Structure 1
Amino acid sequence: MNKSVKREAILKVAERLFYEHGFKGVGLKQIISEASVATMTLYNHFPSKENLVEEVLKQREERYWAYLDSHVEMDSDSPFVLAVEAHGRWLKEQSYKGDMFLRAIEDYAGTNNDIENIARGHKFKLLKYLQKLAQKKGKDNEQHLANQLTLLLEGTTSMTTLIGAEKATEYSISIARTLVKHTS
């Protein structure tokens, strides 16, 4: 196994374990064991657990944006509904146990600014992404619509743990259609 393969193995195992058990519930020994790497290999790639958490969040965020971009056609009649549908599919496939970024904000609030900043930054980027969509579609009050849609996606994420991703997404698509119809 070369260096980058080992690094990817560590990141993959760490993300799965952090997602399943929370950031505080997983130790580096468990990651080392499940990734089948030496202790020094982990430390050569990630000087600390916090650094590993940061990289896991950055990698997950890159995947989220690539996923959203691959499903949202900016020039379609309703990119907002496509964004809600894509977010719902992401929840079903990648985030069925709640949002990893919110968990990071909760677990690291006030303790590690880099981790908290990455997680909060993800939420801010979502708002900006939807604002850009609204601008491209020539919506009058793009900030207002972006805030509403961000709230809708965050609510969808929260409701996934209660009623499942499919049902939460179904409701969200209906709300998104109504929002878009009532905004000029």
Structure 2
Amino acid sequence: MAKSKKKEALLHASERLFYEHGFHGVGLKQIIHEADTALMTLYNHFSSKEALVEEVLRRREERYWSYLDSHVEQEGEHPFVTVVKAHGDWLATESYKGDMFLRAIEDYAGTDNDIEHIARSHKEKLLSYLRQLAKKVDEENHEDAAHYLTLLLEGTTSMATLIGAEQATAYARAIVEKMNTVPDEQRG
């Protein structure tokens, strides 16, 4: 089944606007104007603004995992270094103003929809992904390694808004390279 061009236009415009102005800083009129669609078209595809936000988050997450996986599979470096580099590249191109998932958790905490759940699930999936990666490289304490890497990536995301994605990624890469060279018994 072919994707609806109007639906794609709505999703693309919505993601950009939500990222630039926040979820509550964008109204449906602005979205349909930017997407060059009618309000009825929006409601033909999405039952509410919340349903639109949910789909935007799901698609963004799908793109993130696809991006991360493709880099981890291609690179010859240690997978932890590759993850940091790929995450940093994502920040530079897709997430230079902060984390859309954290923003969703903040903006929709305690509301009666799936937005907060989707965003929290993304964070849990990151921890799980890194846990599996640590197991794959035979990291002795894969649980700790996954937590270290998750904190490192989340910190890199935060710092990208202050010092830029390139510099934040350089610091994160230096940390992960040191982490991989220090014997387990010497780690804190």
TM-score using structure 2 length: 0.93
1:54 and 2:54 aligned: yes
Q: Which residue of 1 aligns with 2:160?
A: 160
Change (3 A) 1:18 1:141: same
Mapped to 2, the partners of 1:97 and 1:123 lie a distance apart of 18
Q: Which one is further off, 65-74 or 35-44?
A: 65-74
Change (3 A) 1:10 1:78: same
Q: Which residue of 2 aligns with 1:131?
A: 131
CA contact (8 A) 2:7 2:42 kept: yes
Q: Which residue of 1 aligns with 2:13?
A: 13
Percent identity of equivalent pairs: 66
Task: Summarize deviations over 1:102-136 as a string: whole Å, max 9, x none.
Answer: 00001001114410010000011110111001101
Q: Which residue of 2 aligns with 1:170?
A: 170
Give unmatched runs, 5+ long, in structure 1: none
Secondary structure in 2 aligned to 1:73?
Answer: helix
Secondary structure in 1 aligned to 2:4?
Answer: helix
Change (3 A) 1:183 1:29: farther
Secondary structure in 1 aligned to 2:121?
Answer: helix
Instruction: Report how far residue 182 of structure 1 moved.
Output: 2.5
Give unmatched runs, 5+ long, in structure 2: none
CA contact (8 A) 1:130 1:149 kept: yes
Q: Which one is further off, 104-113 or 24-33?
A: 104-113
Q: RMSD between aligned alpha carbons?
A: 1.5
Secondary structure in 2 aligned to 1:72?
Answer: helix
What amino acid sits opposite 1:39 in the alignment? L
Mapped to 2, the partners of 1:98 and 1:108 lie a distance apart of 16
TM-score using structure 1 length: 0.95
Instruction: Report how far residue 179 of structure 1 moved.
Output: 1.4
Q: Which residue of 2 aligns with 1:96?
A: 96
Correspondence 1:36-55 to 2 at 5 A: 36-55=36-55
Instruction: Report how far residue 34 of structure 1 moved.
Output: 1.0
Mapped to 2, the partners of 1:102 and 1:57 lie a distance apart of 11
Mapped to 1, the partners of 2:153 and 2:112 lie a distance apart of 26
Mapped to 2, the partners of 1:183 and 1:138 lie a distance apart of 14
Secondary structure in 1 aligned to 2:131?
Answer: helix
CA contact (8 A) 2:75 2:82 kept: no
